[in-house]
Copies of this chain bind each other. A is one copy, B any other.
Amino acid sequence: MGVLVVGTVTLDTVETPQKRVEDVLGGSGTYAAVAASFFCSPVRLVGVVGADFPQTYTDSLNDKRIDLEGLTRVENGKTFRWGGRYSEDFNVRDTLFTELNVIADFHPTLPNSYKDTSYLFLANDPPQLQLSIIEQTSNPKLVVCDTMDFWINEEREALEKTIERVDILILNDSEAKLLTGESNLLLAARAILRYGPKRVIVKKGEHGAISITESSFFSAPAYPLTQVTDPTGAGDSFAGGFMGYLASVDDVSEGSIRKAMMYGTVVASFNIEDFSINRQKSVQFSEIEARYEELQEAVRF
């Protein structure tokens, strides 16, 4: 089985305490699609770029065998640009600028060949856009959606309508608290279930992630990393790896969901080791399996 990823494709400027990079390949769609590509095929990507989007970045996505039929190129437009700066310990990220450019007027129409997708991942995007994609697909087996604080604050009504239609909502711990007004994470996750999703996955960064349904609780550890270069895209890599694994086994049981979260965790850990998708270019599947096994050993008691 394959995965359809809908998300942003961006040119990022990232400042860390060690280094600054400019206009590197980024975006929620990019990170998620690249992560999914380790596990399944085809990985289809819906997004938009401008005329300034470098051919080398298109080549990088092609190298990962990502289907780009759904990637629109606006010839008189500029690619979405984002700039951010990390604190010394990487726990605080300040957004320096956001230039929406071609993304501001993007209303994607799915290619016909994309409409029967079984595994749909809606990476961070305006909730109206996410809903429009759901409505263009024909009854996918699994719809997973990510969101962020901006949409919770600015487009709550549209977001609630979208969340109602998804099987799994993935979001950060601070976003789960913001969405529900609950300071206890478990209560926040349970409150989100009442919006409609059958499962909520809360990402806690260096503290791992949790998954909650009406009847299950899973605590996923983070991979113990000593080399953090750039956390940008870690959450999208987690979600992309998660979707890619589920599509590869074509199973959404509790057991597969848990394994998928751990594969997502592993891909995210590699993403953090370098800027953009640089580390993902060289990661071998045997390296992914090795870290997965390390994590199995790390929680055994």
Question: Which A residues form the contact surface with B (CB < 8 A)?
Answer: 88-90, 183-187, 204, 206-208, 210, 217-222, 224-226, 228, 255, 258-259, 261-262, 294, 296, 298-301
The residue from B255, B262, B301 contacting A296, defined by CB atoms under 8 A apart: B301
A298 is contacted by which of B219, B259, B296 (Cβ under 8 Å)?
B219
Number of copies: 2
Point out the residues of chain B lying under 8 angstroms from A208, CB to CB: 207, 219
Residue of B nearest to A292 (CB): B301
Partner of A207, one of B204, B218, B298: B204
Interface of A, secondary structure class, is mixed
Q: Is the CB of A221 within 8 A of B224?
A: no
Contact call B262/A226, Cβ cutoff below 8 A? no
A90–B208 Cα distance when bound, in Å, is 20
Minimum CB distance partner of A91 in chain B = B183
Report Cα–Cα, A261/B259, bound state, in Å. 24
* Smallest Cβ-Cβ distance to A256: which chain B residue: B301
Tell me if A298 and B226 are in contact (CB < 8 A): no
Q: Which B residues are in CB contact (< 8 Å) with A228?
A: 184
Question: Which residue of B has the minimal Cβ distance to A224?
Answer: B186
**Residues on B with beta carbons closer than 8 Å to the beta carbon of A88:** 183
Q: Which residue of B lies closest to A222 (CB)?
A: B219
B299 lies within 8 A of A226 (CB): no
- Given that A218-B301, A298-B217 are known contacts, is A225 also in contact with B262, CB under 8 Å in the complex? no
Q: Tell me whether B301 and A258 are in contact (CB under 8 A).
A: yes
Q: Who on chain B is nearest to A301 by CB?
A: B258
CB distance from A245 to the nearest CB of B (A): 12
Residues of B with C-beta under 8 A to A210: 224
